[in-house]
Amino acid sequence: MHSTHTARYREFLKRLKAARREAGLTQVAAARRLGKPQSFISKCETGERRVDVVELSDLAKLYRKSVAYFLPSSRR
């Protein structure tokens, strides 16, 4: 299956999932702490749903990471 996401966005998704795992949280546990359904975390991690800046800030705080951690550097 061909991804419709850019390489940079795929890297963001990889970091999003890794951060949750490094925080020792399941999708269910992370979703509960955010007051969201588990499907919210799943869809964010697979790229089915785009993450807005407020949500990214909330996820970064929950996972104890800086927002910058999630942002792959551009290769220009």
Segments making up each domain of the chain, as ranges:
26-68
Q: What is the pLDDT of residue 76?
A: 44
Q: Are 66 and 60 in contact (CB under 8 A)?
A: yes
Q: What is the pLDDT of residue 34?
A: 98
pLDDT tens across 18-42, in order? 999 999 999 999 999 999 999 999 9
If you ran DSSP here, which 8-state letter would residue 50 be given?
Answer: P
pLDDT tens across 51-70, in order? 999 999 999 999 999 999 99
Cite the DSSP H helix spans in the chain. 7-22, 27-34, 38-46, 53-63
Q: Give the tokens for residue 4.
A: 């419709």
pLDDT band at 74 (very low <50, low <70, confident <90, very high): low
Q: Are 34 and 58 in contact (CB under 8 A)?
A: yes
